[in-house]
Amino acid sequence: MKSTARITALGTYVPEKRLTNDDLERIVDTNDEWIVQRTGMKERRIAFENEYSSHLAIKAVESLISDYNKKLNDVGCIIVSTTTPDYAFPSVACQVQEYFDIPNTGALDYNATCAGFTYGLHMANAFITSGLHKKVLVITAETLSKVTDYTDRSTCVLFGDGAAAVLLEEDLHNSSFKATHIGTNGKGGKHVYRTNLSTSMHGQPLETSGKMVQNGREVYRWASRTIPLGITELLKEARLERNDINWFVPHSANLRMIESICGRADIPVEKTLTSVEYFGNTSSVSIPLALKLGVEQGKLLKGNTLLLYGFGGGLTHAGHIIKWDLDEV
């Protein structure tokens, strides 16, 4: 089925509070050189104690409205990717609906962890192309600092907070979507998790602190093998060559992981947009943050062909080749 969905607006927000590598050195046994060498990260943004995912989501939507002069009263569905909702319920999406007083809209949260943005694009594209909705608001919002163990130096140096929003609208003649690839490896779920009700997985006991637990080496190995194969499938579906891609925008998990994926996928690192250096790993928010940085730095231009690829806990992954069709702001 030929896509009829177009991305028409983008907004982002990050908290004001910064957590630098020097700050972390005073919290845990680490230092700037160690962190940069292994992750490429310099700092991350951290939500204040009384600042939650819904607050960040609302700020991102306000940015979208302001930058692109959009009205949301006719949005047919609000979908929010988050692993850190304010409540089990009501959803962040319902809180966004209330704040902006959007009538006659559906609202739901979903969890595809760090692949949440690309999964959200997939769902919104399907909603619009199928004819169910003419306008869908996709939001990603994470306050990972609230579920990070700051005594564990292998994870606490990685994560930051932020939010982003994109608007997708029906366009019968100018779709953003050229190819999509999606997949899951549930057997790898034990390598990155946060407990809720169950205290075991596949019969193996789990740490039950409610904080994130990650076997970084295993996740690195999986992503380095899996994502290049997905990129090949995307290019084949779109009937494009690697040189046809203007920018590769992967999940900004770790700069060293991105370098490994680029090497295996034969994509120059210089053609990659990231957000990891000054925002850390923001899970589902990292790709749209990288897009916003690309726009602000004058790298990302209208008409560019982008390869987006999200991957993370689950283990989940999803990629798109899209045409960037947003006007400069």
Closest to 249 measured CA to CA, from 299, 182, 316, 298: 299
Helix (H, G, I), strand (E, B) or coil at 10: strand
For 196, residues 6+ apart whose C-beta sits below 8 A from its C-beta are none
Active site residue 114: yes
Please spell the DSSP secondary structure of 75-139, one letter per residue.
--EEEEE-SS-SSSSS-HHHHHHHHHT--S-EEEEE--GGGHHHHHHHHHHHHHHTTS-SEEEEE
Rounded to an integer, what distance in angstroms lies between the CA atom of residue 61 and that of residue 48? 19
Choosing from 133, 181, 281, 317, the catalytic residue is: 281
Active site residue 281: yes
For 296, residues 6+ apart whose C-beta sits below 8 A from its C-beta are none
Rounded to an integer, what distance in angstroms lies between the CA atom of residue 44 and that of residue 50? 18
Choosing from 21, 77, 114, 254, the catalytic residue is: 114
Choosing from 191, 251, 317, 320, the catalytic residue is: 251
The rounded Cα 36 to chain-centroid distance in angstroms is 21
Name the residues annotated as catalytic.
114, 251, 281
